Amino acid sequence: MSWNNLTIAQRSQLMNLFRRNGVTSLSDMRRIYDQMSSPEQASQEPVAPLAPVYKSGGDKNTINSPLYNSAHEGAMYKRLRDKNLNNAQASALLGNLSVESYLNADLKQKNGPAYGIMQAEGQRQKAMRNYDYTYEFGSGLSPEEQQQLDYIINEGMYKDTPGEWRYGKGYSTAKSARKDFLNTEDVNKASSIITNNYLRPGKPHTERRNAMSNYYYDKYISSYPYNMEEYAVQYPHSDGGSIHIKPSRKGTFTAAATKHGMGVQEFASKVLANKENYSPKMVKKAAFAKAASGWKHSHGGIKF
């Protein structure tokens, strides 16, 4: 796909879509569009992805990630919520991590030591890489994603692990910053604490981190519990593993979309934009269909 092949009308439509989602630079619009794999991906709103516009910590040495590792985003959010973080706290973490690494657990800093989903360095990186965990098949996360996310949750959020938190920015101790994070339901406050007292990036870019945190907060506010078990889903992994859906549920959402004279993604967008007009199960199916649209899978696709 190439921006240069678009008509003036198509460019204008896409530019409006990008601007609504915080992408204002024409060069960023061109770069993101040229990396997209299909017109369908370009037509999705919010623009997928938003995060690659923001390099890790504003560091010019960070390798450009592939077009935003969003395939397991829902699974990451679910794991944070399952570990008793509220929507504001989970969204603040996810928003900050997306700016750090595009949610890419394998991201390595070019000409620098930072690595992983939170671009950890030094002792923190060593502890994260060596973190002892039990991989849960069907969690929706790759082993690296689960290891790093569990380290953040267990050693960062719920323990006073030396070096994980830092005092300052209104907090006299690192412990008080962590506890205030766990007591807040304000996504902007939660994002600020994660930025200033937990991740502590060299260049904070607070506005960008808050924007991504609010994006996730709004996106998932009515989607949790994100009931993967209902669809018996095994998310795809980097090794090319497949997706499995409970046989009794295959085709039910497609049938509903066909009944309304729409394609799956069109109907999913309509349902999510008018949740009050549909049953909770239909809303969950629509959320699942939208999330699954970007997954890598074999055998020609998923039958929803």
Residue in 90, 69, 68 with CA at minimum distance from that of residue 81: 90
From its phi and psi, is residue 110 left (phi > 0), alpha (psi between -120 and 50) or beta? beta
From its phi and psi, is residue 69 left (phi > 0), alpha (psi between -120 and 50) or beta? beta
Q: Please enumerate in sequence order all residues whose Cβ is within 8 A of that of 289, keeping only pairs 6 or more positions apart, or say none.
A: 253, 264, 265, 268, 304
Contact 270, 262 (CB under 8 A): yes
pTM above 0.85, yes or no: no
Counting DSSP H helices and E strands in the chain, the numbers are 14, 0
Residue 303 has what pLDDT? 45
Block means of pLDDT (10 residues each) for the chain, 304 residues, are: 78 72 68 60 42 38 38 84 93 92 84 91 95 81 90 96 95 97 96 96 86 86 56 37 50 82 87 80 74 48 45
Residue in 212, 198, 202 with CA at minimum distance from that of residue 113: 202
E strand residue ranges, 99-257: none
| CA 124 to the chain's CA centroid | 22
Residue in 60, 289, 98 with CA at minimum distance from that of residue 211: 98
| CA 304 to the chain's CA centroid | 22
For residues 27 and 29, what is the distance between their CA atoms, to the nearest angstrom? 5
What's the token pair of residue 161?
């692990």
Contact 265, 286 (CB under 8 A): no
Based on its alpha-carbon atoms, the radius of gyration of the chain, rounded to whole angstroms, reads: 20
Provide φ and ψ at 192, rounded to 5°: -65, -40
Q: Give me the amino acid identity at 288.
A: F
Residue 252 has what pLDDT? 78
What's the token pair of residue 122?
């030094």
Domains annotated for the chain, with CATH where assigned, are: 3-48 (no CATH), 73-220 (1.10.530.10), 228-292 (no CATH)
Residue 277 has what pLDDT? 82
Residue 33 has what pLDDT? 72
Three-state secondary structure call for residue 58? helix
Q: Please enumerate in sequence order all residues whose Cβ is within 8 A of that of 132, keeping only pairs 6 or more positions apart, or say none.
A: none
| CA 237 to the chain's CA centroid | 15
Tokens 């766990």 sit at which residue?
Answer: 182
C-alpha to C-alpha distances, 78 to 3, 4, 224, nearest whole angstrom: 35, 39, 7
From its phi and psi, is residue 54 left (phi > 0), alpha (psi between -120 and 50) or beta? beta
For residue 143, what is the enclosing H or E element?
helix 143-151
Residue 36 has what pLDDT? 60
Residue ranges in 152-247 assigned as alpha helix (H): 174-183, 187-193, 206-220, 228-231
